[in-house]
Amino acid sequence: MGKHFTLTASDSHQLGAYRADPAGTPKGGMVVIQEIFGVNQHIRAVCDRLASEGYVAVAPALFDRQVKDYQCGYTPAEIEKSRTFVAKPDWDAMMRDTDAAIKEIKGAGPVGIIGFCMGGTIAFLAATRLSGLSASVAYYGGRIAAFADEKPKCAVQMHFGEKDASIPMTDVETIKQKRSGDCEIYVYADAGHGFHCDERGSFHNASCDLAWQRTSAFLAKHMKK
């Protein structure tokens, strides 16, 4: 459904990206931010799903500064290898690459962003640090608590699993205390980390469906031309 192409960031770094376009006139554009597993089949499927709902969707390859075209699955070995990319994350560089994706699709109408895991944190940071966004959706962003003092410039929605072994509920409470006034924050009692991805053992169908319903309604509300 989609195509691969190249984006250019403000520092002239060129990175790969995946783009999916809707059949008709787009409602707007969505930047889709990867987990630590690259722009893999799951992230491309999210782009395709957003395109089917009327958005131009672009997923920038944020690890291209380290390894070109990195993508993998979810075996223990692949997870371990992927974690090395975020041992010392360069958030500023990832903001530049995310901004390139925002600029790429701004002609489609209002622009939003959605991210998962590492991408959830980036979706929140983009809402606080970048311009041109109408909405931001963060799924289980593990480092959001560290940046929760930053104020978003656009509407933000967050999704967490109560059984997430890598994001303690104390972190979610911190985020709620600091951001509940300007962010929608949802916790799913039966969900763990990665509950949205149907390729992972932690996939939880009911939580995924409810979170996506909320995501779609949120985008419809805030992504108006």
Q: What is the mean pLDDT of residues 191-196?
A: 96
Q: What whole-number distance in Å separates Cα of residue 97 and Cα of residue 66?
A: 13
Q: What is the pTM of this model?
A: 0.98
> Rounded CA gap, 159 and 212, in Å?
10
Say which of 21, 64, 99, 164 is annotated catalytic: 164
Range of the domain at 34: 3-222
φ and ψ of 217, to 5 deg? -65, -40
Which residues on neighbouring strands pair with residue 109, listed in sequence order? none
**pLDDT value, residue 36:** 97
Residue 164 catalytic? yes
pLDDT surpasses 80 at 225: no
Cα(93)–Cα(107) distance, integer angstroms:
24
In contact, 56 and 27? CB cutoff 8 Å: no
Catalytic residue among 117, 154, 183, 197: 117
pLDDT band at 115 (very low <50, low <70, confident <90, very high): very high
Catalytic residue among 21, 47, 159, 193: 193
pLDDT at 1 over 80: no
CA distance 65 to 55: 27
Q: Which residues contact 20 (CB under 8 A, 6 or more apart)?
A: 1, 2, 3, 44, 47, 48, 50, 51, 56, 57
198 included as an active-site residue: no
What amino acid is encoded at 170 in this protein?
A: T
Number of domains observed in the structure of the chain? 1
C-alpha to C-alpha distance for 34 and 6, rounded to whole angstroms: 16
Angle (nearest 5°) at CA 40 between 76 and 184: 90
Task: For residues 53 and 28, give the distance between their C-alpha atoms in angstroms, rounded to a whole number.
Answer: 10
Q: How far apart are CA 182 and CA 100, in angstroms?
A: 26
190 flagged as catalytic: no
* Amino acid in the structure at residue 203: F
State the pLDDT at residue 224: 85
65-113 tens-digit pLDDT: 999 999 999 999 999 999 999 999 999 999 999 999 999 999 999 999 9
Question: Are the C-beta atoms of residues 95 and 11 closer than 8 Å to each other?
Answer: no
Question: Which CATH number covers residue 125?
Answer: 3.40.50.1820
For residue 45, what pLDDT is reported? 97
Cα gap 61→98, rounded to integer Å: 9
Is residue 37's pLDDT more than 90? yes
